RNA sequence: GCGAGAGUGGUGGAAUUGGUAGACACGCUAGAUUUAGGAUCUAGUGCCUUGCGGCGUAAGGGUUCAAGUCCCUUCUCUCGCACCA
């Protein structure tokens, strides 16, 4: 393949950019707020396998956009760093004995080299790594703020325990009942944990989604995850008991249809209400439920199970006695851990009632519910409708009934409006070594005591073995000289907290540290936070929709509440890049052997080809398959640019049609780059090159602006050709070209002539011809005459510069 | 099941407010050049048809002079959630 000397060109300009600190940015106060842009990539976890082709996709997009903005006069902050705490490095340490710091830092070096080889315009002076004590000092500082705000608490809770990783996992790290990292089946285990009260922020996390410019799918996933439900808590009396039974329902309008109650097996009243003759069955059931994994409990396909407790509750609306059951389809962690069951109007209750032959009473007329011989409906209707069998409420529609019944319950002191969220508090402990130590002490006298801020960072001790103890404690627990310490309050004996933070901690606030990465007095100078925040564009994978992006928003809001950041949301605009699949549209994976290594691409085709190809594949947001042929096509385009540049440059007036294509190209590339439609911008540059290639000469008046357009996309090649044109570097410091609408205009347009909506002729005419003239031309057209002959013309629609449509009817 | 999104040539994908469907690229075909080439250049390339012409944007219906685009119904695929009362 004929090819231009990309290797030499690329290394030359990368060196030049680095030596001249071309992309370093400051907080110049003379730059007005609207001319400052913060363009952020999701920073990578430096894995041992190096960069894959998915990384450069998002990184190239933000790089092109950053370079484009700079050329248009913006002050652009575009940083990068590494999310360097986490399990893989620790698992590697367990296997090989290599200290995670060592393998992590080796991996970071590899990533840094790979990222630099693609010519991204990062401000490397701001690089950070989350495992660095200068960084995690502030992660710990934020944790202490959370603790002091009452947002961190200890609790012994059943957590998802991965027997292979020997650690607890957050709900979000469990997929299909299996550990997201190792695939091992997860089961429940009670362990003392540090929890963060993200639930306190549920409402604001939900509401503020309105304020941000994010993909609707991500917003919807977050809403779904937060899972707000509005309904009522209703109190039921228990027969022969002092205790009341409170349930949460979103359908208080179906109270008259409640035919039984169900408690979660873990509900605190179960033991009390169970009658002696039922006690044995109840206890057996509780034991069985406890032994089940979460996966077994939530397996939808399985039959409903449960037992009757022997006790009865009283329905407050009609004083009917209804039996109390227990079943594991009721979750202790949601609502009150108990429900009123309305089998006629809830699918789950319906199944349960059918299994155990419990009564079913229809109370909502959905328009089609019929009754069987027992007088019970023959299917479950969960929608809205008109109330029936509900005493004086009969005839009310569902929403009205809900309002009325809640008012009535509140008057009677039997219930009140209630809101529930699916969102749970965040289990913030990991029983691992390679994470930020939680900066707390357990003092024999004072209880839990925070490490004084002046003693931060609380650094990780050196250990011999990274193997988890498996008891639920981290490897830190066996380092006596680290664990045993003095209480800073009373001076007595104290033990350090041995749990570490989960991997999400460091990534919750890294975008703040970029603003002031070497500050050792605060997490960042408030003036710098004020200068740059919020992030104007954040690009990364959709896999972080409810993990990183929800946690980061939560921390940001806490920091906002204590006055540490000036905005209520961190990321104003979010774009998810699509996945890059292997050739043929299958997933890229090691086992399929179809993984593309960016190093190979850079070596064989060059960084510019890699960049332009990844942007040319299709829209940024969608998944698309890799194609080496497609890559070669893009490389061919850059090679043509190179060969064109070798022609003799002339300063004469270029032909009109080329000037026109150039101005059309400037317009299209400007508009498309602005909306991240890089694929169509590149297509337009190809059109320009195809046209220019037909000329003998190289017109420098066209070439200069074209190179500016090319610069964000293929910065090395553009830089080289810019210099060869006799200009001083750097092209990236030049102004973005302007187009002239007049020069971009087509003077001749093809007019389509239709008869009854079908194209019958096409004519080339001068642009801007008026309607009458167009219509006349169309009607007189020879071919059209044939089509309309002997027919009567009903209507003629004329769209200037586009078409003439003649509607005729047969006569 | 619920929620979100998507279905356009052999392939990746283009198509303001409804106004020439298939830009650009890959692949393919033919030719030129070349010792040769998977390099380069030129031409062609949605399907059917010798031609006139007809048919074409998942399927069916509707609105309109005009529908890939708007409305209704159905199907398929991808992603997320999943007994959350």
- The pLDDT value recorded for residue A120 is 97
Please state, in angstroms and rounded to a whole number, the distance separating the CA atoms of residues A120 and A122.
6
> Which nucleotide, over all strands, has the C1' atom closest to the CA of A223?
B3
Residue A610 (CA) to nucleotide B41 (C1'), in angstroms, measures 26
Residue A72 pLDDT level (bands cut at 50, 70, 90): very high
Mean pLDDT throughout A521-532? 96
Please tell me the predicted confidence (pLDDT) of residue A369.
Answer: 61
pLDDT at A669: 96
Give the SS3 label for residue A230: strand
The one-character DSSP state at A79 is -
Backbone angles phi, psi at A431, to 5 degrees: -90, 60
Backbone Cα Rg of chain A: 34
Cβ–Cβ under 8 Å, residues A435 and A424: no
Summary mean pLDDT of chain A: 91
User: Which nucleotide's C1' sits nearest to the alpha carbon of A225?
Assistant: B81
CA of A108 and C1' of B52: distance in angstroms? 69
Q: What is the pLDDT of residue A367?
A: 63
The closest of A697, A738, A703, A693 to A724, measured between CA atoms, is A703
Q: How confident is the model at residue A522 (pLDDT cuts 50, 70, 90)?
A: very high
Distance CA A262, CA A349 (A): 9
In tens, the pLDDT along A310-339 reads 999 999 999 999 999 999 999 988 999 999
Beta strands A36-41 and A537-540: pairing type?
A: parallel
Percent of chain A with pLDDT over 90: 68
Torsion of CA A805, A809, A810, A811, to 10 degrees: -120
Other CB atoms within 10 A of residue A109 CB: 11
A295 CA from B3 C1′ (Å): 22
pLDDT at A561 over 60: yes
Rounded Cα–Cα distance for residues A340 and A247 (Å): 6
ipTM of predicted assembly, 2 dp: 0.94
Least confident stretch, A171-180, A588-597, A636-645: A171-180
DSSP string, A321-355: EEEEEE-TTS-TTSTTSEEEE-GGG-HHHHHHHHH
Give the C-alpha separation, A153 to A740, whole Å. Answer: 63
Using the CA of A215, which nucleotide's C1' is the nearest one?
B4
Residue A803: pLDDT band with limits 50, 70, 90: confident
Residue A717 in this model has a pLDDT that exceeds 80:
yes
Neighbour count for residue A587 (Cβ, 10 Å): 12
Calculate helix-pair angle for A548-561, A133-148, nearest 10 degrees.
70
Among all chains, which residue has been given the structure tokens 């497609």? A630
Q: Which residues of A118-138 are buried (b: 16+ CB within 10 A; e: fewer)?
A: bbbbbbbebbbbbbbeebbbb
For A182-192, the pLDDT digits (tens) are 777 777 788 88
pLDDT at position A810, please?
65
CA of A694 to C1' of B30 (A): 22
Confidence class of residue A496 from pLDDT cuts 50, 70 and 90?
very high
End-to-end CA distance of chain A: 64
C1' of B85 to CA of A222 (Å): 21
Q: What is the pLDDT of residue A252?
A: 95
* Cα–Cα dist A219/A239, whole Å: 46
By C-alpha to C1' distance, B83 is nearest to A329
Q: DSSP 3-state assignment of A610?
A: helix
In terms of Cα–Cα distance, which of A81, A88, A101, A4 is closest to A47?
A88
The CA-atom distances, in angstroms, between A640 and each of A12, A378, A633 are: 21, 73, 11
The CA angle A264-A268-A270, to the nearest 5 degrees, is 65
pLDDT tier at A300 (50, 70, 90 boundaries)? low
Confidence at A368, pLDDT banded by 50, 70, 90: low
Say if residue A172's pLDDT is above 70: no
Q: What's the angle, vertex CA A666, arms to CA A660 and CA A670, rounded to 5?
A: 150
C1' of nucleotide B23: residue with nearest CA: A683
Confidence of residue A778 (pLDDT cuts 50, 70, 90): confident
Gap between the Cα atoms of A311 and A32, Å rounded: 71
* Selection from A168-182, A195-209, A577-591 with the highest mean pLDDT: A195-209
Q: How confident is the model at residue A299 (pLDDT cuts 50, 70, 90)?
A: low
pLDDT at A580: 92
The residue that leads in pLDDT, A777 or A601, is: A601
Give the length of chain A: 811
Nucleic acid strand B: bases within 7 A of protein CB: 3-5, 11-15, 19-21, 23-27, 38-42, 53-55, 65-67, 78-85
Three-state SS sequence of A252-294? HHHHHHCCEEEECCCCCCHHHHCCHHHHHHHHHHHHHHHHCCH
Tens-place pLDDT, residues A210-263: 999 999 889 999 999 999 999 999 999 999 888 899 999 999 999 999 999 999
């Amino acid at each position: 393949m004929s090819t231009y000397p990309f290797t030499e060109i690329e290394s030359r300009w990368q060196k030049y950019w680095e030596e001249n600190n071309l992309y370093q940015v400051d907080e110049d106060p003379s730059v007005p707020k609207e001319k400052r842009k913060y363009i952020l990539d999701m920073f990578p976890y430096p894995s041992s396998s190096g960069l894959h082709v998915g990384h450069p996709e998002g990184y190239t997009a933000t790089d092109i956009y950053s370079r484009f903005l700079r050329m248009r006069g913006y002050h652009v902050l575009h940083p990068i760093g590494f999310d360097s705490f986490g399990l893989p490095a620790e698992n590697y340490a367990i296997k090989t004995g290599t200290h995670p710091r060592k393998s992590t830092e080796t991996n970071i070096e590899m990533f840094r080299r790979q990222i630099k080889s693609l010519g991204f315009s990062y401000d490397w002076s701001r690089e950070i790594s989350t495992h660095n004590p200068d960084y995690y000092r502030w992660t710990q500082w934020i944790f202490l703020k959370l603790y002091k705000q009452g947002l961190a608490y200890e609790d012994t809770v059943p957590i998802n325990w991965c027997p292979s990783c020997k650690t607890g996992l957050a709900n979000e790290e469990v997929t299909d009942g299996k550990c997201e990292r190792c695939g091992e089946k997860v089961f429940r285990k009670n362990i003392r944990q540090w929890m963060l009260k993200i639930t306190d922020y549920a409402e604001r996390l939900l509401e503020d989604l309105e304020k941000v410019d994010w993909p609707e799918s991500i917003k919807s996933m977050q809403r779904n995850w937060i899972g707000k439900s509005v309904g009522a808590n209703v109190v039921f009396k228990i027969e022969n008991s002092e205790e009341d039974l409170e349930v949460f329902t979103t359908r208080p309008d179906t109270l008259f249809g409640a035919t039984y109650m169900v408690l979660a097996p873990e509900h605190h009243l179960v033991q009390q209400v169970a009658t002696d003759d039922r006690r044995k069955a109840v206890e057996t059931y509780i034991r069985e439920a406890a032994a089940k994994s979460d996966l077994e409990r939530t397996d939808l396909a399985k039959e409903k199970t449960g037992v009757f407790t022997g006790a009865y509750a009283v329905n407050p609306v009609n004083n009917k006695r209804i039996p109390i059951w227990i079943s594991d389809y009721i979750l202790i962690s949601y609502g009150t851990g108990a429900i009123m069951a309305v089998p006629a109007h809830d699918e789950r209750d319906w199944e349960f009632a059918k299994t155990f032959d419990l009564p079913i009473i229809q109370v909502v007329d959905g328009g089609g519910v019929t009754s069987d011989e027992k007088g019970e409906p023959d299917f479950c209707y969960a929608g809205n409708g008109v109330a029936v069998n509900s005493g004086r409420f009969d005839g009310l529609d569902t929403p009205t009934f809900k309002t009325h019944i809640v008012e009535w319950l509140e008057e009677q002191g039997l219930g009140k409006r209630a809101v529930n969220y699916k969102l749970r508090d965040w289990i913030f402990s990991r029983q691992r070594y390679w994470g930020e130590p939680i900066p707390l002490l357990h003092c024999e006298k004072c209880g839990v005591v925070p490490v004084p801020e002046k003693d931060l960072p609380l650094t990780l001790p050196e250990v011999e073995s990274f193997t988890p103890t498996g008891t639920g404690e981290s490897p830190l627990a066996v380092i006596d000289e680290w664990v045993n310490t003095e209480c800073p309050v009373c001076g007595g004996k104290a033990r350090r907290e041995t749990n570490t933070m989960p991997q999400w901690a460091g990534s919750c606030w890294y975008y703040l540290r970029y603003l002031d990465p070497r500050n050792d007095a605060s997490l960042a100078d408030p003036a710098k936070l004020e200068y740059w925040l919020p992030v104007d564009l954040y690009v990364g994978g959709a896999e972080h929709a409810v993990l990183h992006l929800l946690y980061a928003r939560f921390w940001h809001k806490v920091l906002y509440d204590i006055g540490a950041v000036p905005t209520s949301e961190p990321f104003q605009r979010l774009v998810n890049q699509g996945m890059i699949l292997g050739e043929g549209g299958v997933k890229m994976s090691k086992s399929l052997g179809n993984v593309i290594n960016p190093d190979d691409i850079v070596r064989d085709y060059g960084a510019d080809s890699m960049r332009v190809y990844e942007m040319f594949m299709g829209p940024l947001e969608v998944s698309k398959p890799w194609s080496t042929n497609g890559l070669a096509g893009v490389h061919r385009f850059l090679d043509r640019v190179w060969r064109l540049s070798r022609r003799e440059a002339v300063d004469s007036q270029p032909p009109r049609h080329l000037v026109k294509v150039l101005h059309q190209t400037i317009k299209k590339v400007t508009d498309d780059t602005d909306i991240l439609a890089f694929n169509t911008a590149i297509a337009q540059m190809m059109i320009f090159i195809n046209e220019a290639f037909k000329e003998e000469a190289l017109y420098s008046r066209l070439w200069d602006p074209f190179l500016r357009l090319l610069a964000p996309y293929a910065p090395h090649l553009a830089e080289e050709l810019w210099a060869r044109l006799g200009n001083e570097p750097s092209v990236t410091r030049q102004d973005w070209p302007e187009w002239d609408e007049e020069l971009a205009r087509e003077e001749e347009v093809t007019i389509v002539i239709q008869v009854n909506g079908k194209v019958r002729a096409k004519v080339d005419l001068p642009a801007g011809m008026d309607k009458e003239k167009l219509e006349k031309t169309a009607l007189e057209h020879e071919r059209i005459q044939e089509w309309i002959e002997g027919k009567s013309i009903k209507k003629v629609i004329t769209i200037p510069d586009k078409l003439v449509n003649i509607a005729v009817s047969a006569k």
